[in-house]
Amino acid sequence: MARKITGLKQLGHEVPVPKSPAEAELERVPNPHADTAYVARFTAPEFTCLCPVTGQPDFAHFVIDYAPGKWLLESKSLKLYLASFRNTAAFHEDATITIGKRVADLVEPAWLRIGGYWFPRGGIPIDVFWQHGAPPDGVWIPEQGVAPYRGRG
C-alpha cells in the first residue's frame, strides 16, 4: 500500500551532502501508527567527524533508538545529516549529544536514546550515551548490540 507523502525535499531527489550539520535539513513524516507504542532503530556504523584539536578523523558507530509519537524520522535526511559531520570539528560528547538533541527536537518522540561508540583516540575509546524522556511501558527495547571496545585483547 503506497502512500504519497508530500513536502519532502530530499527523499526521491538527488541531493548533495550538506557542507555542515548547520546546513543539513532533517525531515520527518507522519507516523501511520501513532496510536501504537513501539521502538524504531537507526544504526550508523561508519560515522566520521574531525578532532577539534588535531584535525584528524574520528570514527564512531551510532545507534539511535526512539519511540515515535506523531512523527517518524526520514532516513535519507538522517543519512545526509550524519554525513555532513565529515568535515566538522567536534569532540565525541558534543557530536553525540548534538545529534540526539536535534533528532529529538524534530520528531518529538515519547523516548529516544543515542549510543555513540567511538573508536579509540589516543588509545582511549570514548562511548557517549544520551536519553530523552522515559521508555514507554510495555515495549521491547533490545540492547544496542555494540560490544565494548576490546582492542586486540
- The CATH number that applies at residue 75 is 3.30.1130.10
Which residue out of 35, 49, 58, 127 is catalytically annotated?
58
Distance in angstroms (rounded) separating the CA atoms of residues 60 and 96: 9
21: its cell numbers: 550539520
pLDDT computed for residue 97 by the predictor? 98
Q: For residue 121, what are the domain limits?
A: 37-61+70-125
Asked if residue 144 is part of any domain, the answer here is no
- Annotated catalytic residue 35: no
Three-class secondary structure of residue 103 per DSSP? helix
- Annotated catalytic residue 49: no
Amino acid found at 109: P
Which residue out of 35, 49, 51, 65 is catalytically annotated?
51
* Mean pLDDT, the chain cut into blocks of 10 residues (153 residues total): 66 85 96 97 97 95 98 97 97 98 98 96 90 95 87 59
Asked if residue 52 is part of any domain, the answer here is yes
Domains in the chain, number: 1
62: its cell numbers: 551510532
Asked if residue 7 is part of any domain, the answer here is no
The position carrying cell 520528531 is: 107
136 burial (CB, 10 Å; 0-12 / 13-18 / 19+) is middle
37: its cell numbers: 507504542
Asked if residue 145 is part of any domain, the answer here is no
